[in-house]
Amino acid sequence: MSIPVALGLDIGGTWTRALVVDVAAGRRLGASRRAGANPTTHGVESATVHIAAAVTDALSEAGVSAEEVSACVIGMAGASKLAGDPAAARAFDELWRSIGLRCPVEIVADVTTAFVAGTPEPDGTILLAGTGAIAATMQDRRPAGIYGGHGWLLGDEGSGFWIGRQAARAVLAALDEGAPLAGLTAAVAAEVVPEYECTDTAKLTRAAGADFGLSEGRRLVATVIAAVNGRPPVQLAALVPLVFAAAEDGDRDASLILHEAADLLVGTLGRARSVHAAQGARAAEDASAPIVLAGGVLAPGSLVHRLVHAAVTEAWPKATVTAGVDGAAAAAWLAAHHLLGDRPDSAALHARLLPAADGSEAAAASGPPQTLATDAAETG
């Protein structure tokens, strides 16, 4: 095959996506999706297995051999694992050789591919909210300044973890007040302790065992707390789809949680822009520089996306606000950009690979997100 071929990968904790593109024609040749391969979350050995499978599947569908790939870019949640762990970096170097890639392989933080998924411009700002939350000022398609992203224990306000924790707290607050579980609180309690198939406190506490002198409500509180504490903390982000669904059904608790999440995310973005504007960062100084919203919490069509989009367009009316949805296509475009440079056909290729960057098409098609696609707690 004589055509230039680019390979892009979007590697997160939930999914690993690969895309092979024909650079000259701007065509998608082959794509695949495998399990998540964030090396920090899943370990290096598991990560390399899933990445190799994703690349092999995409190349097979494209009818292209690894040796024919001209450029490769990988956006990875957990890229910092490779920077701080020489053994992990060597394992990934060996992975590219075992796959058969002969071209240079560039690994960038997932915040970079999320930004590029929303705009072909080199400078701007991104707000990324998935399991975690982070804002970054971008220069030359690299993070020049980062605000947030401190992880579930110290920050990530408005993130998927934060939303899930607030939902679990809503259950405990209802039980403390002796209120019946309904809507969001009933759905969350059933998810956290599914053996109780909750509709009321009595059913939820039926299998709780000895009462230890506690009322049924307090026994359930203890059961919910034990169930949440028995899982990795970031798994609270798995409750986000329940919160979105309940909010769409008019649940007051869910709506309040998502409105507060949106306010916190806009605050994180505002602090990032103001901090780096004060430092003279050109992307923050330019009020018309694009703003990209990305991550599962900010998926087009979700209530949080609608709230944040409205607040951002009001606060920065000169900026174009877009959605960063397809990280694999963004990585493939970055790889192609290495071959094309800043030529007009490079921008045209972006439009072909990422036609819904403004979020309009994606919003119409997707509705509220069902999973978190971006693990922003670990942004590399």
Judged on CB neighbours under 10 Å (0-12, 13-18, 19+), 295 is buried
pLDDT tier, 204 (very low <50, low <70, confident <90, very high otherwise): low
Cα(210)–Cα(378) distance, integer angstroms: 41
CB distance 112 to 123 below 8 Å: no
Lowest mean pLDDT among 204-208, 310-314, 318-322, 375-379: 375-379
In 3-state terms, what secondary structure has residue 69? strand
- Mean pLDDT is highest, among 203-212, 249-258, 358-367, for 249-258
Q: Which residue has the higher pLDDT, 173 or 76?
A: 173
Mean pLDDT within 244-259: 96
- Cα distance between residue 184 and residue 64, in whole Å: 48
Over pLDDT 70: what percentage of the chain? 83
Q: Is 26 left (phi over 0), alpha (psi -120 to 50) or beta?
A: left
CATH of 5-120+325-357, one of 3.40.50.720, 3.40.47.10, 3.30.420.40, 3.40.50.10860: 3.30.420.40
Tokens read off for 215: 């009322």
CA 353 – CA 131 distance, rounded (Å): 26
Give pLDDT, residue 362: 40
Mean pLDDT of the chain: 83
> For residue 313, which of 283, 290, 282, 285 has the smallest C-alpha distance?
290
Can you give the residue ranges of every domain in the chain?
5-120+325-357, 162-251
Residue of 377 and 338 predicted with greater confidence? 338
- What does the block give as tokens for 97? 């050789």
Window from 144-148, 196-200, 363-367 with minimum mean pLDDT: 363-367
Among the listed residues 149, 379, 148, 127, the one whose alpha carbon sits nearest the alpha carbon of residue 262: 127
Residue 365 pLDDT more than 60? Answer: no
* Rounded (to 5) percent helix, strand, coil in the chain: 50, 15, 30
Token pair listed for 86: 């020489």
Q: Mean per-residue pLDDT for 303-328?
A: 93
Segment 61-106, tens digit of pLDDT: 999 999 999 999 999 876 776 777 788 888 989 999 999 999 999 9
Angstrom distances, CA of residue 94 to CA of 47, 49, 98: 13, 12, 6
Asked whether residue 221 carries a pLDDT value surpassing 90, the answer given is no
pLDDT band at 149, cuts 50/70/90?
confident
CA atoms within 13 A on the CB side of 244: 24
- pLDDT (mean) for 286-298: 87
Cβ–Cβ < 8 Å for 353, 221: no
Percent of the chain beyond pLDDT 90?
49
User: What tokens does 176 get?
Assistant: 């403390």
Position 191: which residue type? E
**214 phi, psi to nearest 5 deg:** -95, 150
How far apart CA 314 and CA 16 sit, in angstroms, is 35
